[in-house]
Amino acid sequence: MGRELRTYTFTIVVEPADEVWHAYRPTLSPYGAATWGATREEVLAHVREVVGMIVERPAEEGGPVPAAPADQEPASGERIVVTVRARLDDEVHSA
List, for residues 15-37, the tens digit of each pLDDT value: 998 899 999 988 888 888 899 99
Measured in residues, the chain has a length of: 95
Ordered by start, the domain boundaries in the chain are 3-91
Q: Minimal CA–CA distance to 57: which of 23, 32, 90?
A: 32
Q: Minimal CA–CA distance to 35: which of 52, 22, 25, 26?
A: 22
CA distance 6 to 87: 9
For 59, the 3-state DSSP assignment is helix
Residue 5, C-beta contacts closer than 8 angstroms, at least 6 positions apart = 83, 84, 85, 86
Assessment of whether the complete model's pTM goes beyond 0.85: no
List, for residues 34-89, the tens digit of each pLDDT value: 999 999 999 999 999 999 888 888 888 878 887 777 777 777 778 888 888 776 65
Which CATH number describes the domain made up of 3-91? Answer: 3.30.160.250
Q: Minimal CA–CA distance to 50: which of 26, 90, 77, 82?
A: 82
